[in-house]
Each structure stands twice: as C-alpha cells, then as structure tokens.
Amino acid sequence: MNPEKQSVRDFWNAAPCGTTGVQEQEDLRVFLQEIERQRYELEPFIAQFADFARWKGDRTLEVGCGTGTDLLQFLRAGAKAQAIDLSSRSAELARERLRFEGFESNRVILSDAEHLPFPDNCFDLVYSWGVLHHTPDTVRAFEEVHRVVRPGGEICIMLYHKWSLLSLLFYMRFGLLKGRPFRSIDEVMAAHQESPGTKVYTRPQLEALFSRFQNVRVQPILTPYDVQYGRDRFLPVWIRRFIPDSLGYFLVVQGRK
C-alpha cells in the first residue's frame, strides 16, 4: 500500500466514520445504535436516495461502509448486501453491528475501492455515501464501480461539492484569513477536510467522470454541515431556508449502466 493510501487508512482507523462526536459507551451495542440514531438525524435524506426497501432480493454493494449503518438498512430490507471498507477498525465495528442484528459478519470485507474483490457485472446496485473522494486514485475507483455493476444496474454515490457553502467557508478560514488568497479550494480541502487528500468536485466534473453510465443525475443537497460553526454546533434549521440547495456540500450521483 502506498503512503498516501496508508495515511487515509490510518485516519479512518483512528476515527471510523460516524464515531466522531458520539460518546463512547461500555456497551458496544448501545454505542453503535447511537451512531445510527445520529446519522439519520443529521442526514435524513439518506433514506430517500438509498431507497433501502427497493432493493429487496437484489445484490447490493456498499463501497466504504464505515460502521455498517447503511449496510444494516439494506439487510433489514431484505437485500443480498455486501460491503467493503479500507479501515480495519471500521470493518470490525461493522461486523459487530451485523452480529448484534443476527446477520453474517462475513458480508463485510476488508478491501480497497480501487481494487474491488468481485467479478464483473455482479451487482444490481453499487452504493457509496461520502467515501470515494477519499481514495487517492478516485478515477480508478469509479472504473471499478462501473466494472462490478451489471448491465441495467444502478449507482448511488455521494461525493463532496467544490462550489458549496462549506467549501467556501474552508477557503476563507484556511486561505483568505491565513493571508493565502491564491490557495485553491482543492488544496484547502485536501489538507483540512477529514483524511489527507480529500477531493471536491463540480457537477460538470462528475457528469464527465460518470459519462459511461446512462441517465446520470447529479443533485446537490444542503446539509447541517453547511451551517456548522463548531464541533456539534449547528445554526438553526430555519436558516437553511435562505440558502439555495445548489450550495449544498453533498453531490449525489445516480445513474444506470
């Protein structure tokens, strides 16, 4: 594993997705349930895009499952769901989550988004929420997604938005206010947003990167993180009414192979 990817894995081993801000509990089951509660409280729109119940009986793959919260929803809905994650700590927590719910823990594989351990054309849905912008060779990961989706199968992939309110706030904080006005948003986000090298995209960029798929739709979502002003501190919900969705930090890509 190259040093860049190793640094990404180390970051998520130290702070698996969804655990930041969730108080540790002696009872692991309670801790994982709280991760689930907070995830859907902050991002209720996940259910709209994932449409878990729709995939009953179908083969689904989640690329980057974190602690397994969304994977669990697919399984509860009756999907033949599998997942991978680069972080051994995340995969361990996801497996424990499945065991608590009576599902087979081997549905979670420790693996790499750039080298998916599956044959061609084998999934009805490939789903990934806020993950692929972290892997160093994102284009290779997109190619792998295309490879494993069956003809007629679908994708639902969330990536970070370059022209979002949050990205602009990061630019002000780490560019303008640091006396570095010529520092690009891409550079700022790669250095200061989550794991090293995090990428952000424009809608046209994603439309081009996913051009091998049909009926590609790229939709921005305004999130609580766009009005976050401190750790676990968010401006009131009503303020979001005055911010256009086009400035949302999440871009959801949907399409069909």
- pLDDT at 143 (0 to 100): 98
> What's the mean per-residue pLDDT of the chain?
94
pLDDT digits (tens, 9 = 90+) for 81-139: 999 999 999 999 999 999 999 999 999 999 999 999 999 999 999 999 999 999 999 99
37 contacts: CB under 8 Å, gap ≥ 6? none
237 has a pLDDT exceeding 80: no
pLDDT digits (tens, 9 = 90+) for 21-64: 787 777 999 999 999 999 999 999 999 999 999 999 999 999 99
pTM, two decimal places: 0.95
- pLDDT at 95 (0 to 100): 97
CA distance 243 to 227: 10
Q: How many of the other CB atoms lie within 10 Å of CB of 106?
A: 9
Which of residues 20 and 176 earns the better pLDDT score? Answer: 176
- pLDDT at 22 (0 to 100): 83
- pLDDT at 234 (0 to 100): 66
Of 189, 190, 196, 158, the C-alpha closest to 63 is 158
229 has a pLDDT exceeding 80: no
Length of the chain measured in residues: 257
- pLDDT at 231 (0 to 100): 62
243 has a pLDDT exceeding 90: no
Please report which confidence band the pLDDT of residue 151 belongs to, taking 50, 70 and 90 as the band edges.
Answer: very high
